[in-house]
Amino acid sequence: MRLTIRLSRKKPVYVFFKNTKPSTDTLMSAIDEENRDEDDFVHISYSGSRREEGASLWIQ
C-alpha cells in the first residue's frame, strides 16, 4: 500500500474501514470478511494522521 500512495516508510499510515479504525490485533481476513462491499471491493480510507479523514483506496 505504501508504494501505491508513495508514502515514506518513516511516516505512519492510519487505515480506516467504513470510517472505523480496526484494532491492532484484527486479522486481515476478518477485516476483509466484515468490510467487503457488494461490488466485491474492500474500501479503505487512509491518512497520515489519527483523524478519520484522508484519501481513499479500493482493493479487490
Q: For the chain, what percent of residues have pLDDT higher than 90?
A: 8
Strands in 14-17's sheet, in edge-to-edge order, are 14-17, 42-47, 55-59
State pLDDT tens for residues 13-41. Answer: 788 888 788 888 999 899 999 988 888 88
Domain residue limits, the chain:
2-59
pTM of the model: 0.58
pLDDT at site 50:
60
Instruction: Name the burial class of residue 39, with classes exposed (0-12), middle (13-18) and buried (19+) by CB atoms within 10 angstroms of its CB.
Output: exposed
The CA angle 29-6-60, to the nearest 5 degrees, is 30
Q: Give the residue-averaged pLDDT of 5-9.
A: 73
